[in-house]
Structure 1
Amino acid sequence: MSSIIEKPHEDIHQLIATLKDQVQKNSGTDAVNATVRHIQTLLREDKYRHEFVKADGVQTIVTALTGSTNFQLQYQLIFALWCLTFNASIAQKAPSFGVIQVLGDILSESTKEKVIRIILATFANILNKIDDSEIKRQAALQMVQCKTLKTLELIESKKFDDPDLEDDVKFLTEELTLSVHDLSSYDEYYSEVRTGRLTWSPVHKSEKFWRENAARLNEKQFEVVKILIKLLENSKDPTILCVAAHDIGEYVRHYPRGKTVIEQYQGKTAVMRLLSAEDPNVRYHALLAVQKLMVHNWEYLGKQLDTDAQKDGVAAN
């Protein structure tokens, strides 16, 4: 195994490409397990971590974890991610890599102490290594949205005989509880939208929320609006499509220039395409969103007709 670490720099790119390819092919349990062991060994060395990240290695691991894996392979893949989070600059990218979501899903379902331990250690590393307060907050919010606080409660009640595990549970509970206390309804909404994993959480159907926050969807060059439209265009999940269509409709209803913004980014086309979706709930919420877009149009048309009539009256005089 030491031969991997001793390879010259120019050979590392090819090695990483080969390892990634073998994981993606998933040609057999023993072969993949052996490949991931090589990756684990490689990532123990900080000098190779950035090369692995630049080669989209993290996405390869995340994709493998979302597929069908045996327990040992799952542990090894997570171990590789844990190794990466010892590098502060890589840990800062965890919220945008989808690492937290996939590990949060596994944590909520796993009964294997070995897997639980390595996920909590990875989460603790991420929060410890991130020095940017906003990115750290986003990471903590993603963990909260994955129901990690509830999972930590259950883990604590099982009393695992592992002092390191206990320390990580205590640290994460304190950090995530603090992030919840500082959480505004818009923070919660923004974090959820950025994950792309929309659910019917209470904030979506709150009239007060939309009345107070619709204009905030314009922040950061309409980032949230663009994400919602992208979800309408690319997602296959009926719930995500329903929630995204609903949110587009509420944005238009509560923000005066919402229709213009949605049309500018081809959102109206994306919503109307869903009127022929197979799922009846998706069709229903798409129809509601279209109605809100049209009502906005009718209001504008009514004002325009009044203006034209006034002009005609003045001209007649």
Structure 2
Amino acid sequence: MTETSQDLHNHLNALKQQVQSNQANDSMNTTVRALQTMLRHDNFRHEFAQQGGVETLVAALGKTTNFQLQYQIAFALWCLTFNGEISRKATAAGVIPALGDILSESTKEKVIRIILATFANILNKVDEREIKREAALQMVQCKTLKTLELIDAKKYDDPDLEEDVKFLSEELTLSVHDLSSYDEYYTEVRSGRLQWSPVHKSEKFWRENVQKFNEKQFEVVKILIKLLESSHDPIILCVAAHDIGEYARHYPRGKTVVEQYQGKAAVMRLLSAEDPNVRYHALLAVQKLMVHNWEYLGKTLDTDSNGEQVAAK
């Protein structure tokens, strides 16, 4: 590495560390403003991304409610997405959900404009069909289509914004046209943002799709177990425990697979969770992992009136 390259590396690393340090808004604004300027240049984008800068900005975005700082961080992310390689990794880095949360709540036109421009950049810069599809589905999961409808109805006097709204509406509508229930489920699991969407409690879904959980070396099962081990969100824990139990119930070797990846131990630990709903769904999952007569178990749970049962949420 040349002296100039080393200087660049050190400078960008120092800026990244300042973003990570949870400074006061004024100091953070100055730091991010410097990044906004530097990230207009592609060689700086690549170096910053190599140092984990994208993930750092995403984490910072989740910690602020200051709209000016939200705008500046989103602007820096927009600059980064002009690089095709960085755009391809945006789905894995959590860029879309982080921006999508702000988009759904923000009333500031410049914040809306820069987030939509970032989304458009990601879809324009990614050539690989599957990665582009996953990015579009993440946007759909963030309720971006609904937000686009609301923005379109307001008729902002901004040609660039109108163009992005039209482009994204067409792309996202196309992506959901042939969306299967498993595509919806897979995108939700990959995002790590589990919620009680209809597929989780659909017997038809589990019967038809449980074999797909074994694809890519049990990728979905591993993600669910990781969420059980690392998440602190009660809803995510409830849904993940429920899904592990349903996988074991519908796939003949499910119990063995779950145990192989320490899923049973992860569920067992949740039996002592503080949240009563988490304990309840963990208990159901443990029973599904241990009992073989599923029909008998279901009837027992439905008719047992001796113990207290917490309403599922």
What is the CA deviation profile of residues 174-218 of structure 1, one whole-angstrom value per residue up to 9, with x for unaligned ones?
Answer: 100111112111111001000000000001000000001111100
Q: C-alpha displacement at 1:17, in angstroms?
A: 1.2
Query: What is the SS of the residue equivalent to 1:117?
Result: helix
Aligned to 2:300: none
- Residues of 1 paired with 2:169 and 2:294: CA distance? 51
Quick check: 1:154 aligned with 2:150?
Answer: yes
The residue correspondences of 1:1-317 to structure 2 (distance < 5 A) are 8-296=4-292
The answer to whether the 8 A contact 2:82-2:125 is kept is yes
- Residues of 2 paired with 1:26 and 1:281: CA distance? 33
Q: What TM-score do you get using the length of structure 1 for normalisation?
A: 0.90
- Residues of 1 paired with 2:118 and 2:232: CA distance? 30
The structure that is helix-richer by fraction is 1
The answer to whether the 8 A contact 1:252-1:296 is kept is no
- Residues of 1 paired with 2:25 and 2:61: CA distance? 14
Which amino acid counterpart does residue 180 of structure 2 have in structure 1? S
Q: C-alpha displacement at 1:29, in angstroms?
A: 2.2
Which amino acid counterpart does residue 188 of structure 1 have in structure 2? E
- Residues of 1 paired with 2:219 and 2:240: CA distance? 14
Which amino acid counterpart does residue 198 of structure 1 have in structure 2? L
- Residues of 1 paired with 2:61 and 2:209: CA distance? 36
Q: C-alpha displacement at 1:295, in angstroms?
A: 1.1
Matched pairs, number? 293
The answer to whether the 8 A contact 1:259-1:296 is kept is no
What is the CA deviation profile of residues 37-92 of structure 1, one whole-angstrom value per residue up to 9, with x for unaligned ones?
Answer: 11011110001111100111111111110002422111111100000111111111
Query: What is the SS of the residue equivalent to 1:68?
Result: coil
What is the CA deviation profile of residues 259-278 of structure 1, one whole-angstrom value per residue up to 9, with x for unaligned ones?
Answer: 00001001011111111111
What is the CA deviation profile of residues 126-176 of structure 1, one whole-angstrom value per residue up to 9, with x for unaligned ones?
Answer: 001100000000000000000000000111111100011001001000100
The alignment yields a C-alpha RMSD, in angstroms, of: 1.4
- Residues of 2 paired with 1:101 and 1:271: CA distance? 26
Say which is worse superposed, 27-36 or 39-48, in terms of deviation.
Answer: 27-36
Q: C-alpha displacement at 1:296, in angstroms?
A: 2.8
Q: C-alpha displacement at 1:27, in angstroms?
A: 2.7
- Residues of 1 paired with 2:103 and 2:286: CA distance? 39
The answer to whether the 8 A contact 1:141-1:191 is kept is yes
- Residues of 2 paired with 1:21 and 1:86: CA distance? 23
Report percent identity of matched pairs: 77
Q: C-alpha displacement at 1:21, in angstroms?
A: 1.6
- Residues of 2 paired with 1:27 and 1:184: CA distance? 44
Query: What is the SS of the residue equivalent to 1:67?
Result: coil
Which amino acid counterpart does residue 234 of structure 1 have in structure 2? S
- Residues of 2 paired with 1:124 and 1:205: CA distance? 34
Larger Rg: 1
Aligned to 1:309: none
Which amino acid counterpart does residue 183 of structure 2 have in structure 1? D
Aligned to 2:309: none
- Residues of 1 paired with 2:27 and 2:281: CA distance? 46
- Residues of 1 paired with 2:23 and 2:43: CA distance? 29
Query: What is the SS of the residue equivalent to 1:296?
Result: coil
Distance 1:183 1:21, change over 3 A: same
Q: What TM-score do you get using the length of structure 2 for normalisation?
A: 0.91
- Residues of 2 paired with 1:16 and 1:175: CA distance? 34
Distance 1:34 1:207, change over 3 A: same
Aligned to 1:304: none
- Residues of 1 paired with 2:152 and 2:4: CA distance? 46
- Residues of 2 paired with 1:279 and 1:27: CA distance? 33
Q: Which runs of 5+ in 2 are unaligned?
A: 296-313
